Structure 1
Amino acid sequence: MSAERHPSLLDTVKGQPKQVWITAAAAVIAFMGIGLVDPILLSIAKGLDATPSQVTLLFSAYLGVQVIAMLVTGAASARFGAKRTVLVGLTLIVAATALCAAAGSIEQLVGLRAVWGLGNAFFIATALSVIVGAATGGQAGAILLYESALGVGLAVGPLLGALLGTISWRGPFLGTAILMAGALVLCARYLKADGHERRDPVKLLDPLRALGHSGLLRTSLGSALYTAAFFTVLAWSPFVLEFTAIAIGLIFCGWGLCVALAGVLLAPKLAARLGERHATVLAVFGYAVLMLVMAVPSKPLLIVAIIVSGLVSGLLNTLFTGTAMSISDAPRPVASAGYNFLRWLGGAVAATLVGHVAEWFGSPQSPFVVAAVLCVLAGGLLSFRGRQADPHEVPPEAALVGEEF
């Protein structure tokens, strides 16, 4: 079997069926929700008389519910079909975002973000399997499309949040509700209908059982540690910068564009040159260095490091997702659910603790130092290989870039 060719950007976008584009467009809007609140964190804190630790709960509630719900997405998709699962997720997101715009307290807003996270869980993991299953040009190209949707969503989210946030902190939530309603209509109209064919049963604990595969477990744990550092940047940087919503939105828009470009253009080239495992280890250690740079008490240096970190995040997002979707013999929805469970769990824990870490150590730079340590741990974990290859590990030539963990 010959190794799969690494697709170019043109190869990736050419000839894709309509449902791939519709799902990817909806994914862009869904991922906008991650960074949407970033530029308005200070405005929310002021408008609802909330502390930084309370405001960062907007991330942790969103991600915490999402990671738990990830465990049931595989079973839901197998039982009800991918389209129904996607539509349920989008409906929950539309309802939650619309109600967020009317929230009267930080507690209400945190609760509604939790519902938003539930909807995202049903959508994100299922959307990945839909894109991978429907895209032409192989799994590698499909994953590039998915991760480019992530990057574009991360870029547009902060910018939209900043622009609408200049009117009111409620504006970004209402804007997202309208966009997600449009995505819901498009998915209902154009996604392939769920057939009545027999589907393999998926049990609720199958995603956790899938993590019994050593390669998938190492990949998922490494991704969780990296994602914790990722959300340290996302959730804590605005409090260190103390800039206006527009300024923070522009910074994170540049960051998100770097995520998208690196994930699509640079990750396949680096992985083809070094091998997937070595490329990931190198990138995660590079991310640790950037976290230490952010710990230097200099706002100009922090701005540069945030934007540059987007390039490394783009590499890591694509490399980690590509490995997770090919390293084990578990069905794609199950592997995706198990991987995303641990991946976003790291973000949920980080978003919950980041404000407390700064308080415990008495320094606003201390969360970045902790994030650097987590990245070093991730690099060490990914560098480890067992003495014998896992008998269930997918051969290198079947993977995204030709080398497995």
Structure 2
Amino acid sequence: MTIALAATAFLLPASPPAPRRTSIIEPLKALRHRSLATVAVTALLYNFGFFTLLAFTPFPLAMSARQIGLIFFGWGIGLALTSVFAAPRLQRRFGTLPVVMTSLLLFAADLAVMGVYAHHRGVLAAGVIVAGLFLGVNNTLITEAVMGAAPVERGTASAAYSFVRFSGGAVAPWLAGKLGEEINIQLPFYVGAFAVLLAVGVLASGWKPLSHLRVPTAHSEAEPPPSPLLTPERAFGLKLVPTSTQ
């Protein structure tokens, strides 16, 4: 943390003061924009799965603190690599929305597998590390997506988004612990997987208002090419009318 503080203080350029003061209710008002609310609720549900993985998995692993630390170190390495290297390339090739939906679907599948094999430490350890790959892509792209989701200032959009999404992070550890302790250790993973699947459905519902996020950045002036990744048409059998990307 000290290194991070020093890097922030000495390596980043000074940011100008905000042009105007914003009220505490402006982020709440910003959620009236459907595009921003869609991304925020998607993040709430995805964070529910993420914090279930983060907070509950150490209990069925039942390993030493060092062993669990090494497993989550592998998770962090995977997250860092895909967030820095894979996410921008996938975004340029396929567009933000298809990539986020695909990474969420894969994360949900990962949680479901962890639920099926919750009594097998090797599967749980591998599931944690593999989840880092999907979460790295999703963290990068969904955070970027929210900044352009509504015609509001970036700070306001970020505040509204964070207010909603961390509700999932607040509830998930407590609920996962209760379910694992009082019912069985598989159920928290299944509930997390279901929440992430709901996130895919919520994001699909914003396919039209978030149309600008469907376009690969490498083809911003052209219609997006057919994507082999997940789309609402493939996921839910929807027939959507193409909209302008301007």
TM over 0.5: yes
Question: Please, which of 376, 381, 393 is the counterpart of residue 197 of structure 2?
Answer: 376
Residue 236 (1) aligns with residue 52 (2): no
Aligned residue number for residue 205 of structure 1: 25
Query: Alignment RMSD, CA only?
Result: 2.6
Q: Does 1:365 align with 2:186?
A: yes
Aligned counterpart in structure 2 of residue 348 of structure 1, from 170, 173, 177: 170
What are the superposed Cα offsets for residues 65-124 of structure 1, whole Å, 9 maximum, x if unpaired?
xxxxxxxxxxxxxxxxxxxxxxxxxxxxxxxxxxxxxxxxxxxxxxxxxxxxxxxxxxxx
For the residues of structure 2 that align with 1:368 and 1:329, how far apart are their CA atoms?
Answer: 37
Indicate conservation of the 8 Å contact 2:44/2:166, yes or no. yes
Preserved CA contact (<8 Å) 2:146 2:161? yes
How far, CA to CA, are the matches of 2:201 and 2:13 in structure 1?
43
Q: Which residue of 2 is the match for residue 54 of structure 1?
A: none
2:206 alignment counterpart: 385
Report matched runs for 1:295-374 at 5 Å.
Answer: 295=115, 296=117, 297-360=119-182, 362-374=183-195
The separation in 1 between residues aligned to 2:187 and 2:214, in whole angstroms, is: 42
Rounded to whole Å, the distance in 2 between the matches of 1:349 and 1:217 is 19
Higher RCO (C-alpha 8 Å, min separation 6)? 2
TM-superposed deviation, 1:192: 5.5
Matched residue type, 1:201? R
Task: Please give the alpha-carbon distance, in whole angstroms, between the structure 2 residues aligned to 1:330 and 1:398.
Answer: 21
Match of 1:224? 44
Shift of the 249–272 alpha-carbon distance from structure 1 to 2, 3 Å rule, reads same
Q: 1:242 to 1:188 in 2, by over 3 A?
A: same
TM-score by length of 1: 0.50
**Alpha carbons of structure 1 residues 221 and 257: separation in structure 2 relative to 1, 3 Å:** same
The alignment partner of 1:329 has SS state of coil
* Residues 271 and 192 of structure 1, relative CA distance in 2, 3 Å threshold: closer
Name the amino acid aligned to 1:358.
Answer: G
- Residue 82 of structure 2 corresponds to 262
Once residues 226 and 198 of structure 1 are traced to their aligned partners in structure 2, the CA distance between those partners, rounded to angstroms, is 31
User: Match of 1:269, as an amino acid?
Assistant: R
The residue aligned with 2:239 is none
The letter of the residue matching 1:376 is L
Number of residue pairs aligned between Structure 1 and Structure 2: 219
Shift of the 236–397 alpha-carbon distance from structure 1 to 2, 3 Å rule, reads closer
Residue aligned with 1:204, SS: coil
Runs of 4+ in 1 over 3 A off after TM superposition: 182-195, 393-404
The runs of 5 or more residues in structure 2 that have no matched partner are 225-244
Name stretches of at least 5 consecutive residues in structure 1 with no aligned partner. Answer: 1-28, 30-178
Change (3 A) 1:251 1:383: same
